[in-house]
Amino acid sequence: METVGSEYMGNGRCRFTVWAPEKKTMALHLVHPREREIAMECAEWGYFTAELEDASPDIRYYYKPEGEEGFPDPASHCQPEGVHGPSEVVDHGAYTWRDSNWKNIPMQDLVLYELHVGTFTPEGTFEAIIPRLDALKETGINAIELMPVAAFPGSRNWGYDGVFPYAVQASYGGPTGLKKLVDACHAKGIAVYLDVVYNHLGPEGNYFEKFGPYFTEKYGTPWGKAINYDGAYSDGVREYFANNTLYWLEYYHIDGLRLDAIHAIFDQSAVSFWELLQNKIQALTEQMGRSFYLIAESDLNNPRVVQQTEVGGYGFNAQWLDDFHHALYVLLDKEGIKFYEDFGKTEQFAKAVTEGFVHSGEYVKFRKKTFGTSSAAIPGNHFVAFAQNHDIVGNRPEGERLSVLVDFGKLKIAAAAVLLSSYIPMLFMGEEYGEETPFLYFVSHSDKGLIKAVQEGRKKEFADYKVNGALTDPQDEETFQRSKLEWGKRNQGKHQKLLKWHQTLIQLRRNHAVLQNFDKAAINAQTLEQDGLIFIRQNHDGSEHLICLFNFSEKDLSYTLPNTKTHWSMLLNSKEVQWLHEQEEEFTAAAQMAAGQVLTIPPLSVLVYQSQT
């Protein structure tokens, strides 16, 4: 199979390849630096090619299928004039990498940090992130996960409306900006993950059907036609998306991808897309000597997602664990039951902590059917746990973060629940210091009909929710500006305390042997009615234990320590004076406790004790 797109080979040589299996002719239309048109040759499998001997990396071009008007390259590496403009050739060899000694961070050691490039800094660029890497590293963050950067309409978008999966958004800094960020991250020991979308393409600037059968009506998705992974001519589609994964590793040194909503990728082929993808990744990582990881967003509650392709799995290294968030959030915010009607019991959070999926075959009201299967046998390092992410915040009517929904004590509980779990933790940008600006849904389309459809769609989505004032307009630039972080807060008052709380938890997670054990069999959980949760974790040989005690209620709770020969010493107390804010009352927990003693857990608190033999 051919690699699509433009490939600048140096010394003026450039090869152009486009897949259009049902077209009889194709022309390469160069528009910069001088205009000319070149007939392309038709090769096997429906690929058209052309080679230039007098090219330069700044060449801009369109393709003309069967004499039609020019369209951008579906595999464009850069769209400097926007999604409707010409594609630009990129000389990837021109960038000098400095990360030759970088070998990636083992997945189980990650502390992920999801961020949106446009709202993370006032400038909204890749390079503007670099000065803030030291602060993230000091907090304990060792991996950033960028929301999609594939070229999208305008300059404001979450990224899930991208229409050029190979092109880096120009307003963020384009290809060079992303490479500089990755290089800077690696120099500081920070891995870079990228969110990619292989289940749909955005509506504006989507010219794919001008070239070939990239889509199918055989399946449906929330965004329209499904991508054609198993129908007629699907070989070219599968190669296009599988090679996109390799592209990010080879040309941008990305350490891993998070794949959006894989449950909307449909494939009944004898050799699945996932198997094809894993084979390609294995070949390239062996060649480059670097590890590379895939994280799935999946709505299936099916452990097959993280099982090997050899046994019928999808081969992902990890997947987001939505059930963990849902079970935790409804315990922290009673209003959460409006969003997650099937949650709200402490035993559900206990199940999320000890097994993973809460819905593992039970009847689920939201789905109106029995749903899911058990993930108890899957080690914890195959799941990513979080208290917030872009979807959870941004898909609320007013983009409210947890910091404006619950009080300070509950924010500390949320952080501890995630960071003391046996899962890979992920924070959403600003969460570590309790950012209070909203993260709203925003777009910058140019198609008036599409703008109206988006506006009306948001109104319909939140018709049943009470909103303070008018619903924010996604197209309004002010919506985007309101979503930018106020970074200076992290060093002030309660924000600084919450930041240090996160830093302390991350250090504990990194340094304590018990928290390095991802075997779910080494975790026991006990509920205290509907008010609290106790979970006990142990190290690999069972010689060390941690007891993590959570009180979600406004009253004191009592817990009798396990009746063993072990003594217990306090590691962490969220009610110590250094962690308190405003109305919180200090609680002095016993520094040492004997087995069988009764321990008091103060309201809205977290206590952590370690075993002493």
- According to the annotation, is 151 in a ligand binding site? no
- Classify residue 478 by burial, with Cβ atoms within 10 Å: 0-12, 13-18, 19+: exposed
- According to the annotation, is 156 in a ligand binding site? no
Region label for 361, one of left (φ > 0), alpha (ψ between -120 and 50) or beta (otherwise): left
- According to the annotation, is 261 in a ligand binding site? yes
- According to the annotation, is 58 in a ligand binding site? no
The residues, any chain, with a CB within 8 Å of residue 100's CB and separated by 6 or more, are none
- According to the annotation, is 572 in a ligand binding site? no
The per-residue DSSP string of 494-527 comes to HHHHHHHHHHHHHHHHHH-GGGG---GGGEEEEE
Backbone angles phi, psi at 55, to 5 degrees: -90, 160
Q: Which of 183, 204, 239, 297 is catalytic?
A: 297
- According to the annotation, is 393 in a ligand binding site? yes
The per-residue DSSP string of 436-500 comes to -S----------HHHHHHHHHHHHHHTTTS--SSSPPPTTSHHHHHHTS--GGGGGSHHHHHHHH
CA atoms within 13 A on the CB side of 252: 29
- According to the annotation, is 322 in a ligand binding site? yes
- According to the annotation, is 540 in a ligand binding site? no
Q: Which of 114, 255, 260, 355 is catalytic?
A: 260
Q: Copy the structure tokens of residue 567.
A: 């003594």
- According to the annotation, is 83 in a ligand binding site? no
- According to the annotation, is 300 in a ligand binding site? no
- According to the annotation, is 118 in a ligand binding site? no
CA atoms of 426 and 419, how far apart (whole Å): 9
Q: Copy the structure tokens of residue 299.
A: 């709505």
- According to the annotation, is 260 in a ligand binding site? yes
CA atoms of 67 and 371, how far apart (whole Å): 51
Using DSSP bridges, classify how beta strands 13-19 and 224-227 pair: parallel, antiparallel or unpaired. unpaired
183 catalytically annotated: no
Q: Which amino acid, residue 125?
A: T
260 catalytically annotated: yes
Check if the beta carbon of residue 465 is closer than 8 Å to that of residue 471. Answer: no
- According to the annotation, is 232 in a ligand binding site? no
- Neighbouring-strand partners of residue 395: none
Q: Copy the structure tokens of residue 60.
A: 């801009």
- According to the annotation, is 391 in a ligand binding site? yes
- According to the annotation, is 395 in a ligand binding site? yes
Which residues belong to the active site?
A: 260, 297
**Binding residue numbers:** 258-263, 322-326, 390-395
**Binding residue numbers for substrate:** 258-263, 322-326, 390-395
